[in-house]
Amino acid sequence: MQLSIISGGTCGSNPSTHAGRPRLTTSFGIIRGTDGIIIDNGSGVQNVVRHLQKEKVERVLMLQSHLHADHTDGLPQNSYLFQNKVPVMGIWVPKCEGADFRTVWEQRFTPHIWPVRPETFGIAMPAQYTLGSDLSNVGFLPLGITTLRLNHPGGSVAYRIPHERGDIVIATDHEPTGETNAAYASFVGGAQLLIADLQYRDSEYNGEVGIGDGPAMKRVGWGHATPKLLAEALSGCQPLPKEVWITHHDPNRTAGDLDDFESEVYTFFDGLGINVTAFAGDGEVNEI
């Protein structure tokens, strides 16, 4: 059974304006046999859709990690929402504090933001399935997909997609803590691939230095990881994920700073025996 993944958009918080680095916001796609799975609808979803269409998937499932703008601002660019040829089986969304998917849908397709909406063509919003706060109803997720609640303001979840070649875990927007690390390690342990949030240097997170030309400020509680925090979260894995890709790149980094950060991360994790193999980039396709 085919298994491939495309990192459609890998920039966190906002689109980046810096040349020579990832610019689009979060979206990933997985082809599992003839199924196309879209994880998040940031502006990078346009890359995901093009790849799934090229590979002629026969049906599409959509999973939202959460409802922040950088994970939903690409909804109008998801052309699967404007057609009936390839069935969209539904969209699975966690319950988030102060937000729901229908409200976000209405905001994204408000006329002053986007001129047309699927309903313009007689196409309804996909069936929506809400994951409860305690995730007790995850049994209705398709394909044996499982989920874990993450530490992020307003709420977010990770998804684990099983496959005979090895599972893929997408765990963007997570700030590891001593209280969450055991559950995180259990959930991601042994995966073929973990796509993990790692937005800040430890010095940036602690407010010692700024990012790019920005001021120094503490980023504790903002819902994102650092090398030290991610390493502590992975230390309890039995076994470790076979590969780790880094995502949610801070939009304030220049291309040069992102390259420097990437080199620092590889060196740091190599010393711990953790196999970080890539900083995910917009539009990259990989076979598993």
Q: What is the pLDDT of residue 132?
A: 80
Sheet holding 146-150, edge to edge: 146-150, 156-161, 168-171, 193-197, 243-247, 276-279
Bond before 76 cis per omega within 30 degrees: no
CA nearest 227: which of 200, 245, 204? 200
Q: Which two tokens stand for residue 83?
A: 């057609």
DSSP-assigned letters across all residues of 198-257: ----HHHHBTSS-STTSPP-B-TTSS---HHHHHHHHTT-SS--SEEEEE-B-TT--HHH
247: nearest Cα among 16, 77, 28, 18: 28
What span, in angstroms and rounded, lies between the C-alpha atoms of 223 and 219? 8
H helical segments located in 45-174: 45-54, 101-108
Residue type at 181 in one-letter notation: N
pLDDT tens-place string over residues 220-268: 999 999 999 999 999 999 999 999 999 999 999 999 999 999 999 999 9
Contact 208/258 with Cβ under 8 angstroms?
Answer: no
Q: Give the residue numbers spanning the domain of 268.
A: 3-287
Percent of the chain past pLDDT 70, that is, above it, reads 99
Crossing angle (nearest 10°) for helices 255-270 and 227-234 = 30
Looking at the structure of the chain, the number of domains it has is: 1
Q: How far apart are CA 24 and CA 281, in angstroms?
A: 9
Residue 11 and residue 5: Cα distance in Å, rounded?
A: 17
Task: Show pLDDT as tens, one digit a residue, over the chain (288 residues).
Answer: 788 999 999 999 999 999 999 999 999 999 999 999 999 999 999 999 999 999 999 999 999 999 999 999 999 999 999 999 999 999 999 989 988 999 999 999 999 999 999 999 999 999 999 988 777 766 778 899 999 999 999 999 999 999 988 999 999 999 999 999 999 999 999 999 999 999 999 999 999 999 988 999 999 999 999 999 999 999 999 999 999 999 999 999 999 999 999 999 999 999 999 999 999 999 999 988
Distance CA 148, CA 126 (A): 23
What 3-state class would DSSP assign to 149? strand
What does the pLDDT read at residue 154? 95
Burial 201-215 (b: 16+ CB within 10 A, else e): beebbbeeeebeeee
What's the pLDDT score for residue 137?
Answer: 67
Kindly write down the DSSP assignment for every residue of 32-65, as one continuous string. ETTEEEEE--STTHHHHHHHHHHTT-SEEEEE-S
Q: What pLDDT does 140 receive?
A: 76
Rounded CA gap, 287 and 276, in Å? 17
**Structural tokens at position 10:** 């890998």
Q: What is the CATH number of the domain that holds 171?
A: 3.60.15.10
Amino acid symbol at 188: V
